[in-house]
Homo-oligomer: A and B are copies of this chain.
Amino acid sequence: MPPPFDLESFLPYRLNRAAELISLSFAREYKQRYQMTRPEWRTLAALGSAGRMTATEVGAHSNMHKTKVSRTVAALAGRRWLKRRENESDRRVEHLELTAAGLRAYGEIADLARTYQASLEAALGSGAIERIEAGLAEVERALLEKRRP
């Protein structure tokens, strides 16, 4: 006789609910102020924090579909927040990097993010976020391993 299924302890469900909640919560901090969408912030954040990257790398890093990355990069380029640099050894690849304006925006929103996380940490107690993230890292490792046998 199988154990009953408890949705409340089913990890995909729980992760999705929490992610949607926190993501919308933080998006309220930048959406109107910077006219920025979630994929745009994720791309800006990836480039701002890791420096020059290709579109494929941005997608892998933040787990976004490549067409979503492509369109987001086009939007950010149109806004002059990033520029594309060609790779001379492989002309399919485009390196992406933030412009001065992009870096400035990144810096400001990163401040919001720091403040946001600090207030969350204050509400949760020290170490709580680190513990969650350690668990998430394990989960991701297990899933990516399963995906590439």
Contact = CB atoms under 8 A, between A and B. Distances in A.
A135 B138 contact: no
Given A3-B114, A17-B62, A132 B139 contact: yes
Question: How big is the A interface, by class?
Answer: 35 or more
Interface of A: 2-3, 5-23, 25-26, 42, 45-46, 48-50, 62-63, 110-111, 113-114, 116-117, 120, 123-124, 128-133, 135-136, 138-140, 142-147
Contact of A128 (B3, B111, B138, B143): B138
Given A113-B5, A114-B2, A18 B21 contact: no
A123 B140 contact: no
A128 to B, nearest CB: 6
A67 B33 CA distance: 26
B114 A142 contact: no
B23 A15 contact: yes
Q: Looking at chain A's contact residues, is the secondary structure mostly helix, strand, loop, or mixed?
A: helix
A130 B128 CA distance: 14
A74 to B, nearest CB: 21
Contacts of A48: 7
Contacts of A11: 22, 117, 120, 129, 132-133
